[in-house]
Amino acid sequence: MKNKLFKYILLIPALVLIASTTIYPLMRSFWISLHDWDLKESLTIGPFVGIDNYVRAFSDSQFWNSILVTLIFTVSTVLITLALSIAVALLLSKEKRHLSFLRAVLIIPFAMSPALVGYSWRFMLNPDYGLFDKIIGFFIPPLADIVWLGTPQTAMIALVSVVVWIWLPFMSLMFISGLMGVPREVFEAAQVDGASSFQTLFRITIPMLRPIILIASILMVMFTLKAFDPIVTLTQGGPGDSTEVLNFFIYKTGFRFFDMGYSSALGYILAMITVGFVIIYMRRLAKGDDWN
């Protein structure tokens, strides 16, 4: 009996840590989301309003704008990142000496702080002295005069490109390890049977990578939904509100407008969207041994 209790006592420090950093803030923010709390008015939580803050979101045009922006941003970022990272993985998954060096170099963009990446890209995209702007202008002269962060479409393209740039190395490494784990015999058999490279890719490689694609896409959706630093440092949601994703809208509502109840409710809506997506995706796509 003593032994049984002892293991639970050992769990206490971890539980204290999780409770203080995760469970308590979660419960507290849910409680706040059920109240009308304007921090400009009072330091204490205001009156209980039930689910009013949740209902309010659905009649808020800014909320719907941020949902649309989030959808465009997430779908584009996830699809482009996955496609490019599979392509990079196919190029770098061979067991050659110089490729192992390239694989190590590949991780560098991922090792940089997202805020630093955002600021650096803001400079590089500057129409007057930006390096990237000059390079693009040199190779594709018609694009030389584009102010990348100056129109809704180009700002979104720039934002998606930067987030893809951040996550591409990590995702590529996931696919590289997946590809290197596929038995060579399968490819040799396909070669013997006369399969073309195209057929090998779509009939063998991608189906065999299915479990990794599944995990990578779930992770990528979650990473993209919570992307914050690149938006703050690169576009601040602009021009207008064309790159104002839900995450940034929540931050503005809470920490710029001090509407804490509504901001907490929006936070929960984002969490529900993320969890909902993961559950639906897993149910639809994860069948049987995909996870094994």
Partner 1 sequence: MKGKAAVLVTILILVMSTMVSGCSNSTDSGNTSESDKSLKGQTVKVLLSAGDVGQFNAWKARSKEFTKKTGIKVKFIETPYENLLENITADGVALGGAYDIVAHPDTMGSSIKQFLEPLDNYIKRDDFDLSRWPDAYLDLSTFNGSVYSLPVRAHVQMLFYRKDIFDRLGLNPPKNWSELEKVSKRITEKTDLYGIVPYYGAGKNGQNLYMWTSYLWSNGGGIFDKNYKPIFNNNEGIEATKRYIDLLVKDKVAPPGSVTFGEQDSRTYFKQGKAAMWLGWWWVYSEFNDSKSSAKDVVGNVAFTSVPGWKGKQSRTNVSTFPLGIMKGSKHKEAAWEFLKWLSKPDLELNIVKDSLTDKSPSDQHSPVITQKGNLRNKQLNELSNGFYNVAADSLGNARTLPKIKEWPKIADILSSAISKMATGKPVKPVLDDAAKEVEQLMKKSGYYD
| 48: phi then psi, degrees, rounded to nearest 5 | -70, 130
Smallest distance, partner 1 to C-beta of residue 218, A: 28
Segment near partner 1 (CB under 8 A), from 47-55, 185-193, 198-206, 233-241?
233-241
Segment 95 to 134, residues that bind partner 1, using CB under 8 A: 126-128
Which residues, in sequence order, are bridge partners of residue 38? 259
Q: Which stretch binds partner 1 (CB under 8 A): 166-174, 181-189, 235-243, 281-289?
A: 235-243
* Total site size for partner 1, rule CB under 8 A: 40
Element (DSSP H or E) covering residue 235: none
Told to check if 42 binds partner 1 by CB under 8 A, we report yes
Q: How many Cα atoms occupy the beta-carbon half-sphere of 272 within 13 Å?
A: 9
Bond from prior residue into 239 cis (ω within 30 degrees of 0): yes
Distance (Å, whole) CA 153 – CA 74: 15
Q: Single out the residue of 86, 149, 168, 246 in contact with partner 1 (rule: CB under 8 A).
A: 149
Q: How far is the CB of 162 from partner 1 (least distance, A)?
A: 15
CB 167 within 8 A of CB 81: yes
Task: Give least dist CB 189 to partner 1, A.
Answer: 47
- Identify whether the C-beta of residue 216 lies closer than 8 Å to the C-beta of residue 82: yes
* Residues making contact with partner 1 (CB under 8 A): 5, 8, 11-12, 15-16, 19-20, 23-24, 27, 38-43, 61, 126-128, 145, 147, 149-152, 232, 236-241, 252, 255-259
